[in-house]
């Protein structure tokens, strides 16, 4: 990401998902809530995993830019908390998981 | 899509304060009757002397979301394909906890291919109270840790007739429980209520702060805190005798509940209704129900209240109010499925009532 004089601190996260659908679900669930501080900019996208482009956009890419490292840390920590919940819901409550648990009872 | 019986089904997620609640409701297509299929709740309880902070509460909601949701789904017996929509609390409430639950609700809606419905928490309480008690057009007293409002319905809105000018009545009680370092388990208000039953030897003098249709509680809390400090220092009460935490709880309850009864009665006289519905966590308090009942009886009416399953924040009320809106065509597009800490009761267009 291009450096920005006002937002010198940056971080890029790349989160791999099993498939493009789950990556897209995460993108859509997480991008709704805006960053609370004007001192932080965030861009979310899904991209193809290097070397396995045929699988589609299976990687959630998050580009963070902030005025200070402290603001960057606060924003990224908060994002990781939300991401963890999305991953847990995907793992435990996707349609096929619930249906197979129901069938095994 | 409706289930085999043609019922509409919604899953509701609530987390505006320290309760995480997820519930599933069904509406009968002909009678409109609401049937509770499951109603699961997990409460974040902070240690005595402390309140629940937004960050810790949000962490609790994230940690329990999947457990509570799975239990609600299993208990309801419905399959994912039978669910029509996912409802979540849009506001009002604490930002962090609200957003953590909204993230979970959004993920479920996306995974399951369902529409989202954002619900006003206060309207959730009102609609659930109406459905459970059968009160058709009551004056509503909404009393909880975050809200204190007297409400009546007119022309597609729940109109606020009176409200607190500072803190909520439940916040006043919760914070006084902290002053006395009473347990927050199961709820500070419940423990104050139990303690108050042992008090009553003396009614300690506290300010009575009704201002027109509105109330104020922060000054009363300040005075109650002063009295608690005097008690701890071993100073006697107004009659020269010592007083106890039970006397303080009794006096606080009697004073603030009398204020609530007064503004509710005035609203009833205004709108010409003799029904009063009490909703919100403080609505479980049996002493408040008793005092309100005495007032309503004098007016030839009655009080409608629910028990802790529906009074205290829960997911089923969000599912119910959300499904009422859904049935009128209301949807919350994903891009707009944010939360807001401030969301007044009268901002909601109540399309589902005449």
CB contact under 8 A, A25 and B110: yes
pTM for this predicted structure? 0.96
Q: How confident is the model at residue B136 (pLDDT cuts 50, 70, 90)?
A: confident
For chain A, domains (ranges, CATH) are 9-94 (3.30.310.50)
Spatial separation of the C-alpha atoms in residues B32 and B79, rounded to whole Å: 21
H/E stretch holding A14: strand A9-16
Q: Does residue B83 sit in the same domain as residue B219?
A: no
Spatial separation of the C-alpha atoms in residues B270 and B264, rounded to whole Å: 10
Question: How deeply is B210 buried, as exposed, middle or buried, from its count of CB atoms within 10 A (0-12, 13-18, 19+)?
Answer: middle
Spatial separation of the C-alpha atoms in residues B6 and B30, rounded to whole Å: 9
Q: How confident is the model at residue A4 (pLDDT cuts 50, 70, 90)?
A: confident
Q: Which domain holds residue B21?
A: 8-127+311-347
Torsion, CA B67, CA B73, CA B79, CA B80, rounded to 10: -60
- pLDDT surpassing 60 at residue B140: yes
C-beta of residue B288 within 8 angstroms of C-beta of residue B264: no
Residue B314 marked as a ligand binder: no
Q: Does residue B115 sit in the same domain as residue B158?
A: no
Q: What is the pLDDT of residues A16-75, one digit of tens each?
A: 999 999 999 999 999 999 999 999 999 999 999 988 878 899 999 999 999 999 999 999
Residue B285 marked as a ligand binder: yes
Q: Which residues of A touch B100 (CB under 8 A)?
A: 81-82, 85
Q: How confident is the model at residue B1 (pLDDT cuts 50, 70, 90)?
A: low
Average pLDDT over residues B11-34: 96
DSSP string, B249-302: HHHHHHHHHHHHHHHHHHHHHHHT--EEEEESGGGG-HHHHHHHHHHHHHTT-E
Residue B354 resides in a domain: no
Tell me what pLDDT residue B127 has: 97
Q: How confident is the model at residue A79 (pLDDT cuts 50, 70, 90)?
A: very high
Residue B174 marked as a ligand binder: yes
Q: What is the pLDDT of residues B195-228, one digit of tens each?
A: 999 999 999 999 999 999 999 999 999 999 999 9
H/E stretch holding B14: strand B8-14
Q: Which residues of B touch A86 (CB under 8 A)?
A: 103, 107
Residue B72 resides in a domain: yes
Distance from CA of B77 to the nearest CA of A (A): 10
Spatial separation of the C-alpha atoms in residues B321 and B327, rounded to whole Å: 10
Q: Does residue B92 sit in the same domain as residue B200?
A: no
Q: What angle do CA B274, B278, B282 make, to 5 degrees?
A: 150
- pLDDT surpassing 60 at residue A7: yes
H/E stretch holding B319: helix B315-327
Q: Does residue B81 sit in the same domain as residue B100?
A: yes
Tell me what pLDDT residue B187 has: 96
CB-based contact, A2 to chain B, within 8 Å: no
Average pLDDT over residues B280-295: 97
CB contact under 8 A, A95 and B110: no
Average pLDDT over residues B186-191: 97
Number of domains composing chain B: 2
Tell me what pLDDT residue A51 has: 82
Q: Which two tokens stand for residue B189?
A: 């208000």
Q: What angle do CA B190, B194, B200 make, to 5 degrees?
A: 130
CB-based contact, B55 to chain A, within 8 Å: no
Tell me what pLDDT residue A3 has: 61
Start-to-end CA span in chain A (Å): 50
Average pLDDT over residues B88-115: 98
- Closest to A90 (Cα-Cα) out of A41, A7, A36, A21: A21
- Picking from B59, B111, B338, the nearest residue to A93 by CB comes out as B111
Q: How confident is the model at residue A5 (pLDDT cuts 50, 70, 90)?
A: confident
Q: Does residue B298 sit in the same domain as residue B318?
A: no
Mutant choice from B13, B57, B94, B110 vs A, greatest count of A C-beta within 10 A: B110
- pLDDT surpassing 80 at residue B282: yes
Tell me what pLDDT residue B48 has: 96
Q: Which two tokens stand for residue B18?
A: 């320290």
Q: Say which residue the tokens 């609700």 belong to.
A: B105
Q: Which two tokens stand for residue B55?
A: 């960050």
Q: Does residue B278 sit in the same domain as residue B318?
A: no
Check which CATH number belongs to the domain holding B282 and give it. 3.30.420.40
Residue B291 resides in a domain: yes
Tell me what pLDDT residue A53 has: 78
C-beta of residue B234 within 8 angstroms of C-beta of residue B184: no
Residue B146 marked as a ligand binder: yes
Tell me what pLDDT residue B119 has: 98
H/E stretch holding B126: helix B121-133
Start-to-end CA span in chain B (Å): 26
- Picking from B104, B337, B338, the nearest residue to A85 by CB comes out as B104
Number of Cβ pairs closer than 8 Å across A and B?
71
Nearest CA in chain B to A32: B335
Chain mean pLDDT for chain B: 96
R_g of chain A computed on alpha carbons: 16
Q: Does residue B12 sit in the same domain as residue B93?
A: yes
Q: What is the pLDDT of residues B48-69, one digit of tens each?
A: 999 999 999 999 999 999 999 9
Q: Is B327 left (phi over 0), alpha (psi -120 to 50) or beta?
A: alpha
Q: Does residue B28 sit in the same domain as residue B67?
A: yes
- pLDDT surpassing 60 at residue A2: no
Spatial separation of the C-alpha atoms in residues B28 and B7, rounded to whole Å: 5
Q: Which residues of A touch B62 (CB under 8 A)?
A: 81-82, 84-85
Residue B3 resides in a domain: no
Q: Does residue B67 sit in the same domain as residue B149?
A: no
Q: How confident is the model at residue B80 (pLDDT cuts 50, 70, 90)?
A: very high
């Amino acid at each position: 990401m291009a450096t920005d004089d006002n937002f010198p601190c940056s971080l890029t996260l790349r989160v791999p998902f099993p498939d493009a659908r789950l990556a897209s679900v995460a993108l859509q669930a997480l991008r709704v809530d805006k960053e609370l501080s004007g001192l932080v900019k965030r861009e979310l996208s899904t991209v193809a995993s290097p070397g396995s482009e045929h699988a589609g956009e299976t990687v959630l890419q998050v580009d963070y830019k902030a005025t200070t490292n402290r603001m960057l840390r606060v924003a990224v920590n908060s994002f990781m908390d939300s991401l963890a919940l999305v991953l847990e819901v995907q793992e435990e409550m996707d349609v096929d998981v619930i249906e197979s648990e129901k069938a095994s009872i | 899509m409706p289930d085999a019986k043609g019922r509409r089904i919604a899953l509701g997620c609530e987390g505006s304060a320290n309760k995480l609640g997820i519930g599933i409701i069904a509406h009968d297509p002909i009678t409109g009757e609401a049937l509770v299929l499951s109603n699961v709740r997990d409460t974040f309880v902070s240690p005595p002397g402390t309140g629940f902070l937004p960050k810790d509460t949000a962490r609790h909601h994230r940690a329990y979301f999947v457990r509570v949701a799975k239990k609600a789904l299993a208990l309801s017996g419905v399959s994912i394909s039978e669910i029509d929509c996912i409802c979540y609390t849009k506001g009002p409430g604490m930002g962090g906890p609200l957003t953590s639950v909204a993230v979970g609700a959004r993920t479920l809606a996306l995974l399951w291919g369902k529409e989202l419905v954002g619900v006003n928490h206060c309207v959730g309480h009102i609609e659930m109270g109406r459905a459970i008690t059968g009160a058709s057009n009551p004056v509503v007293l909404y009393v909880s840790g975050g809200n204190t409002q007297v409400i009546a319905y007119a022309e597609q809105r729940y109109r606020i007739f009176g409200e607190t000018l500072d803190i909520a009545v439940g916040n006043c009680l919760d914070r006084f429980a902290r002053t006395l370092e009473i347990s927050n388990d199961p709820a500070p208000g419940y423990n104050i209520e139990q303690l108050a039953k042992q008090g009553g030897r003396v009614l300690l003098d506290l300010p009575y702060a009704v201002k027109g249709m509105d109330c104020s509680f922060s000054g009363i809390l300040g005075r109650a805190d002063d009295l608690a400090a005097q008690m701890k220092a071993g100073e006697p009460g107004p009659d020269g005798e010592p007083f106890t935490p039970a006397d303080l709880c009794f006096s606080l309850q009697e004073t603030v509940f009398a204020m609530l009864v007064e503004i509710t009665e005035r609203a009833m006289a205004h709108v010409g209704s003799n029904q009063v519905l009490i909703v919100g966590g403080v609505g479980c308090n049996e002493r408040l129900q008793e005092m309100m009942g005495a007032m309503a009886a004098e007016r030839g009416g009655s009080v409608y209240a629910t028990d802790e399953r529906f009074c205290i924040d829960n997911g089923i009320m969000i599912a119910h109010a959300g499904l009422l809106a859904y049935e009128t065509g209301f949807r919350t597009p994903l891009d707009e499925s944010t939360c807001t800490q401030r969301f007044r009761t009268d901002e909601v267009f109540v399309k589902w009532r005449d």
